[in-house]
Amino acid sequence: MSGNDILSGVSHLTDDTEFYTPFPSGYVKGRTKYVVVFGTVMSGLGKGIFSSSLAKILKDKGLKVAPIKLEGYLNRDSGTLNPFRHGEVFVLDDGMECDMDLGTYERMLDQDLSRLNFSTSGQIFATVLEKERKGLYLGRDVQMIPHVTGEVKHRLRELAVASAADVIFVEIGGTVGDVENAYYIEAVREMAYEEGAENFCFVALTYVIEPQSLGEQKSKAAQINLKLLNAAGIQPHIIACRAHRPVTKKAREKLALYANVPMERVFSMHDCESIYLIPEMLHGAGIDQAVLDILHLQPLVNEQREEDARRTWNAYISRFRGAQHPVTVGIIGKYTSVRDSYASIIQALEHAGTHLNARVQLEWVDSTELTGANVADRLRHIHGVIVPGGFGFRGVDGKIECIEHVRRNGVPYLGLCYGMQMAVIEYARNVLDLRHAGTTEIDRDCPDPVIDLLPEQKRLEGLGGNMRLGGFDVILTPDSLISRLAGGAERLRLRFRHRYEVNPDYIQRLEAGGLVFSGRAPQHPIMQVVELPESVHPFFLATQAHPELTGRPLNPSPFFLGLVRACLVRSGVTPCDDGSEARDADEGCGSERTPHVGSADLVDA
């Protein structure tokens, strides 16, 4: 009897075998294929971008795909991570707080993911220890191999069953050689043996350095790290070479020789102006065809579907490259030194700009440095402003100064999460004359807590326990700005990550003072979208949600479309929905009049 035959029938560890291969109910070995992406040399090379791009190409061919990110850190999720350490926290519809790469997968694949698509070492170890306490290991000593690796394999197979995917894309976080990732690598090595070589494709993402002092590309660091992958029992089928410029044939030849990978499967994934160019880069290099060959997937390819999908995607790329009208959007936050802290906002602006024929340029403004004395000068050349999400007191004064300036001077404004709360506080202070209005997040004894925890939230305990997380429906006020931006929709599905809300005790007074709450929770007194009438301000919109998390290249967020359109108007361009340009405000788009974002001198209500 072969090793594979033994493994196929074993689901529990017993005294007469050392195998531990738990199969979830309904799993059929060999039905699902796996593509595993490893990083070498250094982190941050774009494993998620590569993996999601390759997954998109296969999806375009008619295959069903599902990604999973395996993180080495011991946190249960990404919710408690500082953006300076690990970039933005991406929230899935089911409330899972996860790595920013999950956002890349959702945008590239245009599909919603769940907690099954994300795992950390903290989750793995917690599950193993829970099973040990329940005696599910039959009294055996619990070890990294086979129990911890067995749990990893079970999660991959669990996703295969739940998603019914033809191909699972497995991204292992960090780099080869990291202690915390070693058991992940061992797990996929074991699983490739169990499933059969024809069901696994290994991809190594590496980095080719080019020191300025030498003026040529060097592959030695990549060679050494590929040897580490070989030492772990993984022979890559494909090598993707990251570099600033296209990787030379000489460097690729060296890597092919040292890693035993055919030259045609060692390709350059050099820097380009948008991550959405990567799928065509991979297709042009023939990487998709190599994966089809390795995994014997040709019978599943739908050529007509692929042709249609590529035509649609390349039209988006053409519009991105041809965007003509520059507009500058200021991002006013406290994590501006780390761009990954606002990765989804950057992408959402790119989507909206491409749709409207605008090339969005970003101006990063540290809110801790803004004051009433310098805010006008600092924002002088900016066409629109975003105040993004955040927690805590640092930078709050600067954000409020910024919001007051843009409100009084008609600068387009979009507030996200904390940016909505700050907009409500600013309005209460400077329009309603509640000079001590604030939030109990910063001052528990605030005289006028216009932002506060709702009573039902106060009863919840534990860090994160009273967070409002995940997707919720938002009821829109008919004919409001946000309703018109959403095409007249009566409700939107948005994602949230916050604890504090607009205090219901102040809603009536705020509305009487001119503030419009145009989006609300269906069954609770929770204000989710706020705006100013267009007769008062050309574009002033804020939401307690994070609409940047649900924007997609081919389906931009209405919040960001509205902001970029308003920025174009402020820059002197009247945009049309199809991205074409009207020469002046009276010229229509095709057979219809240009949708115009109103402009008026701003006055206090």
Domain coordinates in residue numbering, the chain: 26-314, 324-581
201 assigned to active site: no
417 assigned to active site: yes
Residue 589 reports pLDDT greater than 70 = no
**Tokens read off for 549:** 């998390």
Torsion of CA 447, 452, 455, 460, to 10 degrees: -130
Residue 245 neighbours by CB under 8 Å, 6+ apart:
210, 217, 270, 271
pLDDT of residue 403: 97
Tens digit of each residue's pLDDT (9 = 90 or more) over 497-510: 998 999 999 999 99
Tens digit of each residue's pLDDT (9 = 90 or more) over 351-367: 999 999 999 999 999 99
Half-sphere exposure at residue 334, Cβ-oriented, CA atoms within 13 angstroms: 15
List helix spans (H) across 337-454.
343-355, 375-378, 396-409, 418-430
d(CA 164, CA 259): 33
Average pLDDT for 93-109: 95
| Nearest CA among 356, 377, 369, 389 for reference residue 565 | 356
| Nearest CA among 509, 531, 507, 390 for reference residue 452 | 507
Residue 5 reports pLDDT greater than 50 = no
Confidence of residue 297 (pLDDT cuts 50, 70, 90): very high
DSSP E strand boundaries for 24-164: 33-39, 65-71, 90-91, 97-98, 118-120
The three-point CA angle 497-354-326 to 5° equals 100
DSSP state of 144: I
548 assigned to active site: yes
| CATH number of this structure's domain 26-314 | 3.40.50.300
Judged on CB neighbours under 10 Å (0-12, 13-18, 19+), 239 is: buried
DSSP state of 586: T
- Cβ atoms of 176 and 43 within 8 Å: the answer is no
Q: How many CB atoms lie within 10 A of CB 602?
A: 17
Average pLDDT for 264-289: 93
pLDDT of residue 128: 96
Residue type present at position 531: E
**CA distances, 372 to each of 59, 66, 178, 401, 438 (Å):** 51, 49, 47, 6, 18
The whole model's pTM is what?
0.90
d(CA 8, CA 38): 27
**CA distances, 101 to each of 48, 235, 531 (Å):** 5, 25, 32
Q: Which residue has the tokens 């991002």?
A: 331
Torsion of CA 415, 419, 421, 424, to 10 degrees: -50
Q: Check for a shared fold between 26-314 and 324-581.
A: yes
**Tokens read off for 582:** 């009207």
324-581: CATH superfamily: Class I glutamine amidotransferase (GATase) domain (3.40.50.880)
> Chain-wide mean pLDDT for the chain?
89
Tens digit of each residue's pLDDT (9 = 90 or more) over 185-229: 999 999 999 999 999 999 999 999 998 888 889 999 999 999 999
d(CA 502, CA 437): 12
Catalytic member of 402, 546, 567, 576: 546
Tens digit of each residue's pLDDT (9 = 90 or more) over 380-419: 999 999 999 877 777 799 999 999 999 999 999 999 999 9
Catalytic member of 405, 548, 567, 576: 548
pLDDT of residue 87: 79
Tens digit of each residue's pLDDT (9 = 90 or more) over 537-570: 999 999 999 999 999 999 999 999 999 999 999 9
Residue 582 reports pLDDT greater than 60 = no
Residue 605 reports pLDDT greater than 70 = no
Catalytic member of 98, 417, 446, 576: 417
